[in-house]
Amino acid sequence: MARPAPKIRFLYTGIRVRDLDRSVRFYKAMGMRELFRGKMDHGGEYVHLAFPGSYVRLELNYYPKGNKFYEAWGPGSEFDHLGFRVDDPDRWLAKLKRAGATEAIAAWSETGSRIGYVNDPDGVTLEVFGPDPAATKPKRRRRAPA
Amino acid sequence: MARPAPKIRFLYTGIRVRDLDRSVRFYKAMGMRELFRGKMDHGGEYVHLAFPGSYVRLELNYYPKGNKFYEAWGPGSEFDHLGFRVDDPDRWLAKLKRAGATEAIAAWSETGSRIGYVNDPDGVTLEVFGPDPAATKPKRRRRAPA
C-alpha cells in the first residue's frame, strides 16, 4: 500500500550568497548536485541543491545590488549553523577547506564523536560531525585456528 | 540488499532562539516532535525537533546572557528562510499564525502554487508553499453511460 504523502515537509533551508557561482562550486565540491535554478520576478536568482538520494535541499539566494531584497551582507543571530553528519569528519573537513571553507572551530573528539566547524565562502557556519575513528576503531578479531 | 549509509547527510539547520520554551511550543504546534535536548558545556541549551517520519531536523539553540556565544539578537543576511512544503498552504499559514507567527508576506497564487511567508516568534522567516487549491481542483470525470 502506498504511504500517504506527508502533509508538511521541512524541505529546504535558504541562505543568501554574494557570488552564486562560487557558492554552487563550493556546495558541489561537498557532494551536492544542482536540482534547478531560476530567476525571481524582481531579479533575484536562486539555485536548489541536494545530496543524491535525499529530498532535503539547500537553497542559495542571490539578490543583486539595487534589488528590493538586497542588503549589505552581514552576519546576524537568528541563524546558527547547518549540520552535516558524515562518515569521516577529518577527511570531510579537509575536503571542505580545499574547496574554499575556512576553519571556524578546530575539530575535537567528544564521547565517541569527532566534531568540527568551518565557514563557507560567505561565512555561513557548517558543523561537520560523525564517528571518531580513534574511538570506534573495531578490534580485529583473531582468526580461529584452522 | 541493504543500501549503504550515505557518506554525508544534511541533517539539520540550527537557529538561535531567545525563549526556548516559546520556540518549542511553536514548532510543536507546527507538527514537529522533540527528539532530544541537552546542555552544552558552556551553558547553552539545544533542542532537536523533526516531523514524524523524517530524519531532517530543526535545532533550536539558546545561549543565556553572559554565555560566550551570547549576542544581542538581531537579523543578519547570511540566512534567508526555511521552506516548508505543505498540502494546503492557507490552512497551514492560519495554523501558524494561531501558534504565534506573524505575517511577513501575504499569500499569493503563482503558476499552480500557493505561497506565503510568516515569521516565527523570533523573526525567523518561514516559507509555506504547496498546491493552489483553486488551480488544482481536479475536474470530475463524467461517468460513462452504463
Residue B137 has pLDDT above 70, yes or no: no
Which residue, among B3, B46, B79, would best test binding to A if mutated, counting the most A CBs under 10 Å from its CB?
B79
Residue B146 has pLDDT above 90, yes or no: no
pLDDT at A64 (0 to 100): 86
CA-based nearest residue in chain B for residue A73: B77
Portion of chain A with pLDDT greater than 90, in percent: 62
* Euclidean distance between CA atoms A139 and A119, whole angstroms: 35
| pLDDT, average across residues A107-113 | 93
Identify the burial level of B134 via C-beta atoms within 10 angstroms of its C-beta, where 0-12 means exposed, 13-18 middle and 19 or more buried: exposed
Which residue, among A8, A18, A128, would best test binding to B if mutated, counting the most B CBs under 10 Å from its CB?
A8
Read off the DSSP letter of residue A84: E
* Euclidean distance between CA atoms B36 and B58, whole angstroms: 11
Distance of residue A77 Cα from the nearest chain B Cα, in angstroms? 5
pLDDT at A70 (0 to 100): 82
B92 contact residues in A (CB cutoff 8 A): 8
Of A7, A13, A54, the CB nearest to B13: A13
Nearest in space to B124 (alpha carbons), one of A65, A121, A13: A13
pLDDT at A5 (0 to 100): 56
Residue A125 has pLDDT above 70, yes or no: yes
* Euclidean distance between CA atoms B137 and A116, whole angstroms: 49
Over chain A, what is the mean pLDDT?
87
| pLDDT, average across residues B91-102 | 93
Q: Place B45 in a pLDDT band, splitting at 50, 70 and 90.
A: very high
B77·A72 Cβ contact <8 A: yes
CA-based nearest residue in chain B for residue A18: B78
pLDDT at B60 (0 to 100): 95
B59·A80 Cβ contact <8 A: yes
CA-based nearest residue in chain B for residue A128: B8
A26 contact residues in B (CB cutoff 8 A): none
| pLDDT, average across residues A37-41 | 90
Strands (E), A28-139: 33-39, 45-50, 57-62, 79-86, 102-110, 113-119, 125-131
CA-to-CA dists, residue A13 to A137, B14, B56, B57, B104, angstroms: 34, 10, 11, 11, 17
Portion of chain A with pLDDT greater than 70, in percent: 88
CA-to-CA dists, residue B24 to A76, B36, B57, B84, B139, angstroms: 21, 11, 13, 17, 41
A76·B72 Cβ contact <8 A: no
Portion of chain B with pLDDT greater than 70, in percent: 88
Of A51, A73, A81, the CB nearest to B14: A81
Residue A146 has pLDDT above 50, yes or no: no
Cβ atoms A130, A89 nearer than 8 A = yes
DSSP string, chain B: -PPPPPSEEEEEEEEE-S-HHHHHHHHHHTT-EEEEEEE-TTS-EEEEEE-TT---EEEEEE--TTSTT-------SSEEEEEEEES-HHHHHHHHHHTT-EEEEEEEEETTEEEEEEE-TTS-EEEEEEE-HHHHPPPPPPPPP-
pTM above 0.90, yes or no: no
Q: How do residues A1-26 score in pLDDT, each as one tens digit? A: 565 556 899 999 999 998 999 999 99
The ipTM is 0.82
B50 contact residues in A (CB cutoff 8 A): 10
* Euclidean distance between CA atoms A126 and A93, whole angstroms: 10
Q: How do residues B51-71 score in pLDDT, each as one tens digit? A: 999 999 999 999 988 888 887
pLDDT at A47 (0 to 100): 96
